[in-house]
Copies of this chain bind each other. A is one copy, B any other.
């Protein structure tokens, strides 16, 4: 019943100062291993699919630690390649109230993934073993080789009739000056190959340079997403609108555009414990709904509840089971469960 799903992408080592300490105050760091692909696939594995990661990890104790922790998250290692000696890292200092969280990336371009040689992966052989694959726009920002890997993998999947999902996930700091202009052709290549796309109106406006007649983000979403879907032949598009409230709560509303119509979740409002990776939980919910044949209304509500719960656990990676998500779709917050 479960599908065979992979993600292609970099594994990041997250090094987090304890509590609300700054790096210049603390003397210990918690560490875990994540990344868009890790987060999406771990959630799908928890939902009952066979989850794989296609990536390259260093062949040293850091790579061993990453591999062990990915296994713990339920991600099969069969398609993981080992080589190189470096892993992407980011340091996280948790914000509090008026002080925003701070993320410091380091060692990213030198990572085993971003320096994988051209023939590091046998994409044809890999594609044979999969029903669906998830890609992320962050990989497009790295270098020509990772872009080439990504496109070849997407084409191999497409050639075998597999499902291609693509999360636009544009990060301005990674693209630098004139980033939108440089990114557009690569994004367009991926959009043409993708069946399911995570995006919202900002991606259409900025990356694709599409003009909008309307002004609110809700209106622009309904104006632009159908154009994107039709222009690039995308069967389903999904995304969220987030609002950051003053009292440590966020508001989140998900959408799913499919078969010419929009479905929305309720706007969920909730306290935030760990915000990072919540977008990936939303993507995992959309993919699970689509792979499992949920009604679109159920898919969007499931994905929004998955995203909400991902804000309530530590780490980038969603930890909620399908049973917990379904309960969160229907219940209000309650007393202790015992």
B242 & A333 in contact (Cβ 8 Å cutoff): no
Partner of A72, one of B29, B69, B93, B271: B69
A24 & B64 in contact (Cβ 8 Å cutoff): yes
Q: Is A65 an interface residue (CB 8 A)?
A: yes
Number of interface residues of A (CB under 8 A): 82
User: How distant is the Cα of A308 from the Cα of B91 in the complex, in angstroms?
Assistant: 24
| Identity of the chain B residue whose Cβ is nearest the Cβ of A90 in the assembled complex | B338
A107 CB to nearest chain B CB (Å): 4
Identify the stretch in A116-124, A182-190, A211-219, A313-321 within 8 Å (CB) of chain B at 4 or more residues: A313-321
> Hey, what's the 0/1 contact readout for A74-95 against B, CB within 8 Å counting as 1?
1000000000011101110101
> Hey, what's the 0/1 contact readout for A57-77 against B, CB within 8 Å counting as 1?
000111011011101111000
| Identity of the chain B residue whose Cβ is nearest the Cβ of A332 in the assembled complex | B246
| Residue in A19, A268, A271 whose Cβ sees the most chain B Cβ within 10 Å | A271
List residues of A (9-64) whose CB comes within 8 Å of B's CBs: 15, 19-25, 27-32, 60-62, 64
| Identity of the chain B residue whose Cβ is nearest the Cβ of A85 in the assembled complex | B106
Using a CB–CB cutoff of 8 Å, the interface residues on chain A facing chain B are 15, 19-25, 27-32, 60-62, 64-65, 67-69, 71-74, 85-87, 89-91, 93, 95-107, 109-110, 171, 173, 242, 244, 246-249, 268-273, 275-276, 308-309, 311-315, 319-320, 324, 328, 332-338
